[in-house]
Structure 1
């Protein structure tokens, strides 16, 4: 089973871990195996599900590789009462839905000629050739329906040690798809331990101009995932040192501020949100937010969250009139207020001038205090005899300011009393 020399004890432990994995023992995935494995065809789970299970990470999705041709996968799945969708038939991929869960099933492939991402491939039955097409050794791991590991490229040891290494020649792997530069750093940030692989890092540096050929959508998708990862801070520092981060984001980076933000991980889960991370990392001036949104093709909602955090930062940096938790909540909402606070806190921590106790209290207040809600509406004034029109809005604004100055404490009745006197 392991002719490549993989440590037998290590592989035995891996077999045991995989065999006990809930996702592999589930009726849903076993039904997919039963449908595909006919007429001598084999199927094995591949890649992320194996890696994550062995490292103790959640398994968000399960990909399956098979010797069966795509049209056979479609027919067999439907004959078994499963839904089959030809999501990528040209590339050999069929999405099989079993008990409500989607599984990407892809026929084994091997390169015939290579033209970057346009490599001409053929379907095959050789598991080693299929593994050689993949990016990193820790992703070239397979397991059958019983959980028995197949490790054709000796990636198990790398996986368990947190070593992220390209398969074969790193330069060649990257030239096949320059997104693998970002994937190298993202996989390292999520699963890596110790130092980054020097050979892979050198290849990323040599091939960095290839990043400029990638679409904004692909860069944005990969950067979001990288920013969420456990070791994003050291990964981004290396990217910045190699000149890769400036290409990816289109501008300079505040690495120390980002590192300080991630130093607050234990206090606030928001520190791993890409929108906040990008404000801290790339927000030197307000115009930088537009640049980053465009460069990474962020959604309108993501851009709005970044701009709200920026506005809160400006408010908090005003030493003359420091805002209360209630005023921040009223003006910016809970998420915006917390984002802005964390961004300012990180910046001051990076400069070793943060009052952690004060910021900690304010963060707690922002989490537990109710968002103030102005108790009066124009209809209330009209019902009391105030004529509608422009003056109504002005007077309502005046009463709102009175309410704010009271610390948001004046009730509807007290505000109405001010109107009637």
Structure 2
């Protein structure tokens, strides 16, 4: 949990009424070093990066010029400050400095399924194949659009698409998400996969925060950890909205874990570089003040944020999905759990009264690294179905101000006839993504 440390002062500096135009704008350290904790420091007149860094014995990661009306600095720490000298504390006296865990706080949790002779996995990260099965390579080169009512590239998902009404939905929004950019903040993607050729944002919008470079390429061994996770998530978005662009941003390592600072910086990066939708198929058991501020900046810019609810079969959803109902974020954020093809809660999906909605998240085929395809299961797969649906609506000219509310209001009722009785009201106000009902509402 976030720890707040109040430094009671002998001397209180005067708070700036407005940050100076000459004060430094956000600056990243340029180092790939990862820190155990991160401190969020409210800035006051006279502060310098050197004085703040010395006060906490840390490294300045960002120095922000009054974002959202608040001047602040992010400071990386490798141990919590102990008893600091009066001289060192001086610049921070009288302030509310928050210190929280940073390293490996976020996880890209998914389950992976065993189906149809295609490469697949289950929880635990082991490759599991049917006897005699072969890895299925990507056939046809690129994701193709609806032809004759069948999604030609991945017919294995036909049942899923019928469930959410994808064919009818794409007919209602024939632009198919053109002109819309979806930032996938995840484990990276296979940048060379045929499915993504012509479907990525401009290369100068890509970023690997984990490796501190401009190539957010998946790394690892397929079948271990999170390798392939982001590729799958991005591929699901494009199956729903084939003409949208994916902005690949990597914040998770091969083991599926990532840092608070990386997630917050990726959200800010996506917002400032033109993303319309942010998909966060990752989560943490801890809330984050640092990420909260990034989410608030996204909301202020009208960027829609879709987050997965987590896969622990627990009566609480992970963060940042848990923040989607918070005042100030609820108008632009949606939390997503998972159901099966009969609309029953998936055995792995978290649930809670503050969960906004669910979508099918079991055995979802999508691209996999090295030109392959694979089936995955998890709330991580349900979230990009909603992200793609929002992209369809935006591409067709829908007003973004009402999309987060209406996609949940127009969901299909999953509580009829006692279905999901143990989870009454905990799978969203109504329940499962209904793409035609949503688009008919927002495109009228």
Above 0.5 in TM-score? no
Which structure is higher in strand share?
A: 2
Which structure is higher in helix share?
A: 1
Higher relative contact order (CA 8 A, sep 6+): 2
What TM-score does the superposition give when structure 1 sets the normalisation length?
A: 0.29
What TM-score does the superposition give when structure 2 sets the normalisation length?
A: 0.28
